[in-house]
Amino acid sequence: MKFVRIPFLLLPLLAFSATKPEFEAATIKASAPQVGHSHGPSSAASGGPGTADPALYRCTGCNLAFLISQAYELRKYQFPGQSALPDQGFDVMARVPAGATHQQFQAMLQGLLQERFGLAGHFEQKPVQGYELVVGKNGPNLKESKGPVATAEAAPHKENSAGDWHALTDPSRTLPTQGVMVFMGQGKYRGDFQTMADLATMISNQLSKPVDDRTGLTGHYDLTLNWTDDGSHNAGHQTSFGGFEGHGDHGGEAAASGPTLMGALQAQLGLRLEAKKATANIFVVDHVEKLPAAN
């Protein structure tokens, strides 16, 4: 048997790589009640690797479904059981070790949920209805982007930000940031410097089904899309490019007439969805506590 001598200086590095990534420090506390806010908890997440503040991750008003989705990078169709989880919001603050990668950050957040909430879960492969995003018969109707937009986290990623929903019903106001908003049966999406993969992710979250980009378009585009939503698809995950998704109360006022999301894609962007069978990696929660262990 041939032995290979490992230089002594490499041993600490090998030992470090085998260590499970952990936050340097982390606190979790219940969010303060939102007085006068009738549309569910409001969530905002910022910081971590790849952001303007890589050393400090914050998540304000985030419920378990949101935190689990971030930890495992789940699209909505991958987490059908999230509606059964408690809707209690939590404020999370965690200090990230210098030089941590995005993958290591995910492992840290997963470990934090396992340690503090006793989270246990697994993935299951299941057949689902999916779609392919393709170019329509008359070609795409897309606006080429002039360049990336500065997104230095001046506004954190948000969900259910009720104060911004008026932009959908008041033509004099514009969306304050990129993302999706659904309110009173109206849906609006705006994204600058977006790829077709970004658009496919947004559609996937809205329809709760896997959507793959098969357009063959490799550029970046400034996109705006308006449609009528009947409330059957409940938005609730941030998009891959940041920004936010909100979901308003569909009761009371009738939804405005207009194209469905699929119809709007074809009429406004020159794209369409083709149905296909797919296999999804579904996340199943085996156990989770309603409240975290003490800090």
Q: Per residue in 82-140, pLDDT tens?
A: 999 999 999 999 999 999 999 999 999 999 999 999 999 999 999 999 999 999 999 99
- Eight-state DSSP code of residue 260: -
| CB-CB neighbours of 266 under 10 Å | 16
Determine how β-strand 179-183 pairs with β-strand 244-247. parallel
At residue 177, the pLDDT reads: 52
Residue extents of the structural domains in the chain? 8-287
Q: Round to whole Å and give the CA distance between 48 and 116.
A: 19
Confidence (pTM)? 0.74
Q: Round to whole Å and give the CA distance between 19 and 23.
A: 12
Long-range contacts of 167-173 (CB under 8 A, 24+ apart): none
Q: Render pLDDT for 179-221 as a digit per residue (tens, 0 to 9).
A: 888 888 899 999 999 999 999 999 999 999 999 999 999 999 9
Comparing CA positions, the residue from 211, 204, 281 lying closest to residue 239 is 204
| CB-CB neighbours of 148 under 10 Å | 9
Confidence of residue 178 (pLDDT cuts 50, 70, 90): confident
